[in-house]
């Protein structure tokens, strides 16, 4: 059983439900799938010649999803260049509370978090991207070593170089790895005193069985890969259940940025599989599924449509039929603490904002 020291337990009931396949391999923006950019044919043209695709597994994955009933597109395909920019805009929207609320929790409880976590650690940020969130943490934690992990090591190198400049005494490294496939750190990264940092509530984009698998991988990392006195920890951001209107507005903002973000996946898919999706024929849907405690995003056909792709693939959509593009699970602290315990983190402590909208959780084996 978890021995959770939950400072602000969520008032909402725990919800559990059957996972969907669609989001198992969802990636937060910094883990965006970036293969095939540059090999792309002209978007949105069924007639344009389509170059041979470099990796058939991507083609197969997308087309298999499109042929499912209901159709799905993995959220990792949100994050092409435009999708990543749109996501950045989302994080600044008045309706999208998670980013600024997590930041406020980290600021407000900086001293307590630092006391719990400890100074001089090896800080490992998963999905580090531009290392912006870790930079703030480094100022309070003064880690001895920082390891930014991201699928795109090239992108990371600049960010990690800037970390070295700002924190000259800190050993800062960039590691290119897809965390969904397991992360192996360089052999000289200290095995004791590791702190894995996974902010942004990105764990919510994985369905619960895959979220559990990821937490188990994080547990292996903080365990120093078998080191008996590893003394490691995990610091992770969790979006909590809240008023449905607040949740739904965050994923269907008045300015239409989230709609553009969702629709952009069709343009990206067109480039990846040579399909002829016309985003103008689809509309963005986002709603809270109370039973599963998750926001669901879908794209809905506004009229009967036929979509074709390279190699003769075809899918007919009836008017109103949907493609499921994303889940964003909202965990109560008791439910998430239970998941942490199943992943081998038996102690957990959480800090939240005054409204109880978002939690930063420190967990230890
Ligand atoms: C990356 N992830 C945590 C975001 C979320 O809130 O689930 C992705 C997102 N989708 C629509 N808006 C934001």
Is residue 22 over pLDDT 90?
no
Averaged pLDDT, 190-214: 96
- Ligand 1 within 6 A of 208 CB? no
Instruction: Give the range among 6-15, 98-107, 134-143, 206-215 with minimum mean pLDDT.
Output: 6-15
Residue with CA nearest ligand 1 atom 5: 328
- Whose tokens are 């949740």? That residue is 247
Averaged pLDDT, 204-212: 96
Cα–Cα distance, 180 to 26 (Å, whole number): 9
Instruction: Give the range among 178-192, 256-270, 325-339 with minimum mean pLDDT.
Output: 178-192
130 pLDDT band, cuts 50/70/90, is: confident
3 pLDDT band, cuts 50/70/90, is: very low
Predicted local distance difference test score (pLDDT) of residue 23: 27
DSSP letter assigned to residue 344: T
For ligand 1, the distance from its centroid to the CA atom of residue 185, given in whole angstroms, is 27
81-91 helix and 257-273 helix, angle to the nearest 10 degrees = 160
DSSP letter assigned to residue 284: E
- Ligand 1 within 6 A of 264 CB? no
- 41 contacts: CB under 8 Å, gap ≥ 6: 48, 49, 50, 51, 271, 274
Q: Ligand 1: which atom is nearest the Cα of residue 28?
A: 1
DSSP letter assigned to residue 267: H
52 pLDDT band, cuts 50/70/90, is: low
- Ligand 1 within 6 A of 28 CB? yes
Strands 145-150 and 233-239: unpaired
Q: Cis before residue 69, ω within 30 degrees of 0?
A: no
How far from chain centre, in Å, is Cα 8? Answer: 24
Average pLDDT, the chain: 86
For ligand 1, the distance from its centroid to the CA atom of residue 161, given in whole angstroms, is 28
Instruction: Give the range among 136-150, 276-290, 328-342 with minimum mean pLDDT.
Output: 136-150
Predicted local distance difference test score (pLDDT) of residue 229: 85
Cα–Cα distance, 119 to 7 (Å, whole number): 22
Is residue 142 over pLDDT 90?
yes
Is residue 362 over pLDDT 50?
yes
> CA 341, 346, 352 angle in degrees (round to 5)?
85
Predicted local distance difference test score (pLDDT) of residue 57: 87
Is residue 82 over pLDDT 60?
yes
- Ligand 1 within 6 A of 329 CB? no
Q: Which two tokens stand for residue 90?
A: 């989302």
53 pLDDT band, cuts 50/70/90, is: low
- Ligand 1 within 6 A of 193 CB? no
Instruction: Give the range among 31-45, 55-69, 214-228, 258-272 with minimum mean pLDDT.
Output: 31-45
Give me the DSSP letters along 71-93.
EE--GGGG-SHHHHHHHHHHHTS
- Ligand 1 within 6 A of 99 CB? no
Percent pLDDT > 90 in the chain is: 73
Cα–Cα distance, 197 to 28 (Å, whole number): 14
1 pLDDT band, cuts 50/70/90, is: very low
- 62 membership: H or E segment, kind and range: helix 56-67
Residue scoring higher pLDDT (353 or 43): 353
- 115 contacts: CB under 8 Å, gap ≥ 6: none
Averaged pLDDT, 117-140: 92
| 283 in Cβ contact with 260 (< 8 Å) | no
175 pLDDT band, cuts 50/70/90, is: very high
Averaged pLDDT, 60-69: 96
Instruction: Give the range among 22-36, 82-96, 153-167, 277-291 with minimum mean pLDDT.
Output: 22-36
Predicted local distance difference test score (pLDDT) of residue 225: 81
Q: Ligand 1: which atom is nearest the Cα of residue 205?
A: 7
Is residue 24 over pLDDT 50?
no
Tell the CATH topology of 112-241+331-364: Rossmann fold (3.40.50)
Residue with CA nearest ligand 1 atom 3: 202
Averaged pLDDT, 79-91: 90
Q: Which two tokens stand for residue 96?
A: 């999208």
- 262 contacts: CB under 8 Å, gap ≥ 6: 78, 284, 286, 297, 299, 325, 326
For ligand 1, the distance from its centroid to the CA atom of residue 343, given in whole angstroms, is 23
Averaged pLDDT, 113-131: 93
Q: Which of 74, 95, 205 to mutate to test the pocket of ligand 1 (most atoms within 8 A of CB)?
A: 205
- Other CB atoms within a 10 A radius of the CB of residue 334 amount to 16
Predicted local distance difference test score (pLDDT) of residue 11: 25
Instruction: Give the range among 102-116, 127-141, 324-338 with minimum mean pLDDT.
Output: 127-141
Residue with CA nearest ligand 1 atom 2: 202
Question: pTM (2 decimals)?
Answer: 0.85
Residue with CA nearest ligand 1 atom 12: 251
Is residue 34 over pLDDT 70?
no
| 310 in Cβ contact with 274 (< 8 Å) | yes
Predicted local distance difference test score (pLDDT) of residue 365: 95
Q: Ligand 1: which atom is nearest the Cα of residue 87?
A: 13
- Ligand 1 within 6 A of 180 CB? no
Averaged pLDDT, 49-57: 63
- Segments making up each domain of the chain, as ranges: 26-37+53-95+256-327, 112-241+331-364
For ligand 1, the distance from its centroid to the CA atom of residue 29, given in whole angstroms, is 9
Cα–Cα distance, 343 to 217 (Å, whole number): 8
- Ligand 1 within 6 A of 90 CB? yes
Q: Ligand 1: which atom is nearest the Cα of residue 29?
A: 1
- 138 membership: H or E segment, kind and range: helix 132-141
Residue scoring higher pLDDT (201 or 181): 201
């Amino acid at each position: 059983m978890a021995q959770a020291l939950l400072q602000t337990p969520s008032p909402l009931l725990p919800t559990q439900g059957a996972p969907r396949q669609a989001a198992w391999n969802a990636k937060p923006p910094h883990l965006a799938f970036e293969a095939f950019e540059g090999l792309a044919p002209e978007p949105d043209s069924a007639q344009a010649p389509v170059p041979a695709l470099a990796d058939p597994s991507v083609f197969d994955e997308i087309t298999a999803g499109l042929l499912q009933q209901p159709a799905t597109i993995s959220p990792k395909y949100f994050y092409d260049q435009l999708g990543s920019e749109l996501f950045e805009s989302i994080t600044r929207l008045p309706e999208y509370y998670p980013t600024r609320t997590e930041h406020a929790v980290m600021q407000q409880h900086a001293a307590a978090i630092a006391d719990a976590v400890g100074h001089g650690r090896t800080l490992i940020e998963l999905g580090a991207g531009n290392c912006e969130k870790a930079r703030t943490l480094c100022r309070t934690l003064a880690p001895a070593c920082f390891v930014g992990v991201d699928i795109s090591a090239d992108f990371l190198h600049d960010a990690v170089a800037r970390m070295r400049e700002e924190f000259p005494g800190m050993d800062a490294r960039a590691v290119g790895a897809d965390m969904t496939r397991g992360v192996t750190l360089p052999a000289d990264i200290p095995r004791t005193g590791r702190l894995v940092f996974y902010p942004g509530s990105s764990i919510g984009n994985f369905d619960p069985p895959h979220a559990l698998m990821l937490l188990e991988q994080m547990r292996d990392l903080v365990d120093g890969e078998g080191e008996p006195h590893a003394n490691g920890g995990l610091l992770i951001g969790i979006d909590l259940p809240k008023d449905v209107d607040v949740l739904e507005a965050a994923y269907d903002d008045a300015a239409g940025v989230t709609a553009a973000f969702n629709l952009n996946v069709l343009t990206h898919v067109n480039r990846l599989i040579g399909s002829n999706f016309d985003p103008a024929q689809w509309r963005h849907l986002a709603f809270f599924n109370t039973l599963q405690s998750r926001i669901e995003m879908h794209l809905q056909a506004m009229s009967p449509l036929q979509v074709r792709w390279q190699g003769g693939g075809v899918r007919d959509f009836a008017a109103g039929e949907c493609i499921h593009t994303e889940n964003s699970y909202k965990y109560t602290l008791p439910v998430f603490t239970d998941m942490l315990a199943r992943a081998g983190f038996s102690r957990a402590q959480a800090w939240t904002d005054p409204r109880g909208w978002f939690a930063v959780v420190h967990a230890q084996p």
